Structure 1
């Protein structure tokens, strides 16, 4: 949790204490997000004794949460389950204005798929032992006035997704050559940090566990109709 600032984890912890009366427990999320990034379906676990069935407890906790935080589901988990360590993949969604070269963006995204060294795309994180991670897919689609970018991978380093999106967008603006992106993956560079996309357009879309079906349709969080101007 961030010091001196309200957080989702802090609000959840407070609501759980109100709903259950428990004071001593640890809440573990499936991963951290940068400040300002939204989460559509974060996953967390904790070990706690409660006097209610999961659905009743979910409603009780939601009653104690602020209006912009909502628990979608609550269930008992195996004793050794860990929300972060047992996750096999995560997907992020970014929404941005449509006025870009979509095909160049797809070309940039294709270069980012696979097992790569992401040192140029991540800020130093003492919790990460390696800068290598596998990106399973990068998908782009138009929806009304928006371009949607979905990035799915095994895990993500600190600020990695925003820097990936920034590089893809810069290619779509025709300000960055595709071979420059390949160089960022081969030689450490500060350029992706300079191009990092704002946190406000980024959503943690889904956390996957063994056997979970993958999302297929690429849909916006909020639809913005397309209208020609001028």
Structure 2
């Protein structure tokens, strides 16, 4: 089998997420249908490094295509891009060896974008409009710092109680850094970690916003990170979240 590593970019607005699901429009499903359309064969496999949620976007979803013949790579990728819908695009590509592990990830960087100003038609699909109050950048950073380091994030995840109790999901995770940046009238919250649990970033974003808005206290958030209390009904919209980059330990 030949293995091609591609960098896939997509607007996730119209999709149920990365993972192929029955009777749902997924990024993986569309990519697989496109590959079949180009090569007229089912003798291939597709693996993604991140299981992005419904509505989440990506600048750098890393994907392995395993295929049983060696195509003329430039022509093959050109044909895929021509056949893919306009909201999905392959921006980089190369062959990788059989020893390359897609999940040998050093870190993933996600960015959540907030619009703290007027409604923006051009970017509305990619940011959360937050007009409830003016965001204090320093205060927001202070709240974000609570989540940095190793904690039990089970109360900041989309996992059900049965999934948590099954032991099949690791809820004790480490976030390497969370940084808040102001860019013109936009605010970006950058998350860096080896990996994230389902909906983890979106629960954290909405929790820190509501903490600044005095709907939940910092002490409550700290207790939740110790595994105490109950999950709060706060989850930011998916549209503001972007998978920005993935760094491998080696290629």
Query: Do both share a fold (TM > 0.5)?
Result: yes
Q: Which of 182, 198, 208 is the aligned partner of 1:142? A: 182
> What does 1:1-230 align with in structure 2 at a 5 Å threshold?
1-83=20-102, 85-98=103-116, 99-124=134-159, 125=163, 128-192=168-232, 194-210=233-249
Counterparts in 2 of 1:25 and 1:188: CA distance versus 1, 3 Å: farther
> Structure 1 residues 128 and 155, CA, compared in 2 at 3 Å: closer, same or farther?
farther
The runs of at least 4 consecutive aligned structure 1 residues that moved more than 6 Å come to none
Runs of 5+ unmatched residues, structure 1? 213-230
Count residues with an aligned counterpart.
210
Is the CA contact 1:107–1:178 (under 8 Å) kept in the aligned structure 2? no
SS of residue in 2 equivalent to 1:79:
coil
- TM-score by length of structure 1 reads 0.84
Uncovered stretches (5+) of structure 2, i.e. residues with no partner = 1-19, 117-133
Deviations 1:57-92 (A, max 9, x none): 211111110000000111111103232x21221111
The Cα shift of 1:189 comes to 3.6
Change (3 A) 1:188 1:45: farther
8 A Cα contact 2:112 2:242, kept in partner: yes
Secondary structure in 1 aligned to 2:111? Answer: strand
CA contact (8 A) 2:178 2:192 kept: yes
Q: After superposing the two structures, state which structure 1 stretch, 199-208 or 166-175, moved more.
A: 166-175
Q: Distance in 1 between the 2:228 and 2:97 partners?
A: 41
Is the CA contact (8 Å cut-off) linking 1:119 and 1:188 kept in structure 2? no
Which one is further off, 110-119 or 19-28? 19-28
Offset of residue 128 of structure 1? 4.5
Superposed CA deviations along residues 180-213 of structure 1, whole A, max 9, x for unmatched, are 2211101344344x1110111111111111269x
Q: What is the TM-score when the length of structure 2 is the normalising length?
A: 0.77
